Amino acid sequence: MKSYINVFKALGDPTRLRAVKVLQEAGTELCVCEITDSLNEPQYNVSRHMKVLSDVGLVNDRKDGRWVYYSLVKPKNDFMAHLFDAIKSVQDDIIAEDNRRLRTRLAIRADEGCCATETDERIGEECCSSDSSHEEVIEDKIKDIVKEKYGDLASTGGSCCSGSSSCCSDNVIEGIGYGREDITNVPTESIMGLGCGNPLAFTEIKKSDVVLDLGSGSGFDCFLAAKKAKKVIGVDMTEEMITRSRELAKRYGYKNIEFIRGEIEHLPIEDDTIDVVMSNCVINLSPDKKKVFSEAYRVLRHGGIMVISDNVLKGDLPEAVKMDPDAWCSCIAGAMKKEDYLRLIKSVGFEILDVDERSSDDIITSITVKARK
């Protein structure tokens, strides 16, 4: 009975139901890229949905090189047979459009092959033609892609939803831990919906404190901290974000904030000068998280506090997701398992004081960690 409940729960997500419909329409095994094109969804999103469908026994998955291929399971009993029949009868305009895109995608199979290679080329190119190590080149490529993505967001005034501001409504911001007062007491232009929690809610900032924000973006958390702290420093590697946050600080008269361009793996901050290090859904974007935590430890004074909100994994990610630039920019591909993330923090010397986890049925969840040097 429990397995049937899990099946219905999996199919309760519209994207997963559409994915099953696409496989039914195809009548054959499909590569993840073909399903991605048919659903018009980002690859990382499709891959994690397909993993859920695989886990509950609705689809088979087969890895061939760097790609994963999916097919519907053959019904093993009357329940599964009736279930697939019921799914097949579901029709609407969205499904009709999915089927149209699927037919277009299958029509070019013979000419171009199954999978596009742009994703892998963006992350993997030059790996064998550089004096740097493979890992260093990969890290540089990831940083370039993330920098480009967030630079575009800063320049266009976009948000976490591919340029739409709908995901950054007050309800959504409040939903990750901010109060109404937080939203109304900072520059509206700094609210871009790029966080996954509210680290400031888990520590007390004193008037004498110097606060450092890792990956400060448009400055939202910095502007909140500036109302309590002596000084706030925001560090971000994206020039467009730094320009945006500096303009907002000047326009709204913030005198105790400094925004510095730099990498969180190589902080342009002196040793033992910071009282509170905070970060909001940024460290998962770094390909060298241990270096980030080491740098945070270095700049904190003895007894200083690090409080970070970040995305972590509850299970394994498909390989295709790990190589997807969109998944890196959306704080998914770079996420670690929770236990590994916490172990890394401890390994550089931090004492973990508290861990708050938001409930989630998905493979990705957010946590807020408070630790002391």
Widest CA span in the chain = 70
Cβ atoms 7, 83 nearer than 8 A: yes
327 shares a domain with 271: yes
Find the helix or strand (DSSP H, E) in which 156 lies: helix 134-156
190 shares a domain with 297: yes
180 shares a domain with 92: no
CATH of the domain at 112: 1.10.10.10
| Residue ranges in the chain modelled with pLDDT below 70 | 1-2, 43-44, 65-66, 108-175, 193-194, 315-334, 360-362
pLDDT score recorded for residue 261: 92
Q: Which two tokens stand for residue 120?
A: 């892998």
pLDDT score recorded for residue 129: 36
Q: Which amino acid type is present at position 3?
A: S
**Phi, psi (rounded to 5 degrees) for 231:** -150, 145
pLDDT score recorded for residue 152: 56
pLDDT score recorded for residue 166: 33
149 shares a domain with 110: no
The answer to whether residue 264 sits within a structural domain is: yes
CATH of the domain at 328: 3.40.50.150
266 shares a domain with 149: yes
pLDDT score recorded for residue 286: 86
Encode burial over 166-200: b for 16+ CB neighbours within 10 A, e otherwise.
eebeeebbeebbbeeebbeebbebbbbbbbbbbbb
> Beta partners for 71?
60
191 shares a domain with 93: no
pLDDT score recorded for residue 145: 53
The answer to whether residue 127 sits within a structural domain is: no
Q: Write out pLDDT tens, residues 154-170.
A: 455 544 433 333 334 44
Three-state secondary-structure class, residue 350: coil
Q: Is the dihedral of CA 327, 174, 201, 239 positive or negative?
A: positive
79 shares a domain with 202: no
**Phi, psi (rounded to 5 degrees) for 17:** -60, -40
Could you tell me how far CA 75 lies from the centroid of its own chain? 35
The answer to whether residue 124 sits within a structural domain is: no
pLDDT score recorded for residue 268: 93
Q: Whats the size of the chain, residue-wise?
A: 373
Domain count, the chain: 2
pTM of the predicted protein model: 0.58
326 shares a domain with 190: yes
Query: Strand 67-72 relative to strand 300-313: parallel, antiparallel, unpaired?
Result: unpaired
Nearest to 281 by CA among 215, 361, 236: 215
Which of 96, 116, 136 finishes a domain?
116
105 shares a domain with 148: no
The answer to whether residue 138 sits within a structural domain is: no
58: domain range?
2-116
Which residues lie closer than 8 Å to 256 by C-beta, 6 or more apart? 226, 229, 230, 231, 232
**Phi, psi (rounded to 5 degrees) for 79:** -60, -50
158 shares a domain with 58: no
The answer to whether residue 181 sits within a structural domain is: yes
365 shares a domain with 231: yes
pLDDT score recorded for residue 319: 53
112 shares a domain with 149: no
pLDDT score recorded for residue 153: 54
The answer to whether residue 29 sits within a structural domain is: yes
Three-state secondary-structure class, residue 64: strand
The answer to whether residue 79 sits within a structural domain is: yes
Which of 69, 101, 116 finishes a domain?
116
Distance (Å, whole) CA 102 – CA 115: 14
The answer to whether residue 137 sits within a structural domain is: no
Which of 116, 136, 170 finishes a domain?
116
First-residue to last-residue Cα distance in the chain: 49
Q: What is the DSSP letter of 166?
A: G
Which residues lie closer than 8 Å to 86 by C-beta, 6 or more apart? none
